[in-house]
Amino acid sequence: QKEVEQNSGPLSVPEGAIASLNCTYSDRGSQSFFWYRQYSGKSPELIMFIYSNGDKEDGRFTAQLNKASQYVSLLIRDSQPSDSATYLCAVRVSGGGADGLTFGKGTHLIIQP
Amino acid sequence: KAGVTQTPRYLIKTRGQQVTLSCSPISGHRSVSWYQQTPGQGLQFLFEYFSETQRNKGNFPGRFSGRQFSNSRSEMNVSTLELGDSALYLCASSWGQENTGELFFGEGSRLTVL
């Protein structure tokens, strides 16, 4: 059973600070890792993906992957109130696997003005 | 360009009925995936279609089925509805390459089963 675990939160972060979101996964065969953001009442939207160990930066967002420890994280620098949302971690096994994307249940992030 | 379009957006059914949901992917996208989202279970993968063929399938009962047409539009069907099928059903499209989770989601079809 492939599992993706996230702290459900809410995670409260002051505006301008760094928000750190973490995710662990159980399947060592997982090859691709994704972060989706979902605003309340809206559908998920992809914000970052990472395939290799290390860091990947895109604007205020940094995704970090450590396959040995089976965790992936998302850092949001200079957090803004508009970053308040639920962040979903998702993983995919290479070769398509049998299950498509496996999502965590999400971390609810609140940026306090 | 237009995003992923799902219809209907909201629907109410009673137990035992069946329902068909429709999804039009982004132009040029050849892969369509379906997910069920509930507060308790989160997002769960139903199935994925590529070039009219089911490429992957999640752990849902046979009451859940789908298909894809030659224009990449997709439908999913749920037969013999149960109360637990109440959920937001999300369709997502992608270009279709192997090993991608770069999905573009539609706004979803919210199904309520009474």
Nearest to A7 by CA among A88, A83, A64, A77: A88
Q: Note the pLDDT tens digit of each residue in A79-91.
A: 999 999 999 999 9
Kindly list the strands in the beta sheet with B19-24, ordered across the sheet, starting from the edge strand earlier in the chain.
B5-7, B19-24, B74-78, B64-68
Q: Determine, for residues B56 and A98 on separate chains, whether the beta-carbon distance falls below 8 Å.
A: yes
Task: Please calculate the CA angle A84-B25-A2 and round it to the nearest 5 degrees.
Answer: 60
Percent of chain A with pLDDT over 90: 83
CA A81 to chain B, closest CA, distance in angstroms equals: 23
Cα–Cα dist B46/A66, whole Å: 28
CB contact under 8 A, A106 and B42: yes
A51, A58 contact by CB (below 8 A):
no
Going from the C-alpha of B78 to that of each of A33, A52, B36, B85, the distances in angstroms are: 30, 38, 12, 9
The enclosing H or E element of B104 equals strand B104-105
Q: Comparing A61 with B94, which gets the higher pLDDT?
A: A61
Question: Does residue A72 contact residue A23 with C-beta atoms inside 8 Å?
Answer: yes
Smallest Cα distance from B77 to chain A, Å? 19
pLDDT digits (tens, 9 = 90+) for B91-107: 999 986 665 678 999 99
